[in-house]
Amino acid sequence: MRYRLSCGLLMLALMTCACLAEDAVPAKFYKLDFVVKEMEGTKVLNTRSYSFLTSTQITGPAGAFGGCSIRTGNKVPMAGGGYLDVGVNIDCNDVKETQVGLSLSVTADISSIPAESQIPVSGQVIRQNRWRSNVVVPLKKPVVIFSSDDLTSKRQMQLELTATPVL
């Protein structure tokens, strides 16, 4: 009796898994191209490009959809000791395909030290832009997802994203 009950439960579990597997949508993969632009008016002063692949696959125990991170930059020694991380950090999470494009959560942190000085000292300015939002971008078209003005000049920092399906 116990053997039959165990076999029955095992068969039920296997059939449930098979049904779920049939309903599961296969993961789709995308190349995400980010371009950081420093602008003054309509003139582009500087661009930097960052790319990675991500998917719509559910990951982790919380059931979050696809994710990826970029970390690039330098650890700059501080005058009083310690280090400051300066550079570009971009995180993407909850990547999902929609009828109008790709939906994802983007967090970006872009910081730099003005060219006048190589080592930060007390009171020196560190330029920093931080953005976080859920965005929807059309496929294969560059879109400015974040933009902010520099408070001390007429410059502007922009983050552009192009999402391209990978076959």
92-103 pLDDT tens trace: 999 999 999 999
The percentage of residues in the chain with a pLDDT greater than 90, rounded to a whole number, is: 49
Question: Would you state the pLDDT for residue 63?
Answer: 52
Give the residue extent of every domain in the chain.
26-166
23-63 pLDDT tens trace: 566 888 999 999 999 999 899 999 999 999 998 886 655 55
82-123 pLDDT tens trace: 888 899 999 999 999 999 999 999 999 999 887 665 555 555
Q: How far apart are CA 69 and CA 93, in angstroms?
A: 9
Task: Average the pLDDT over 132-151 and give the result.
Answer: 94
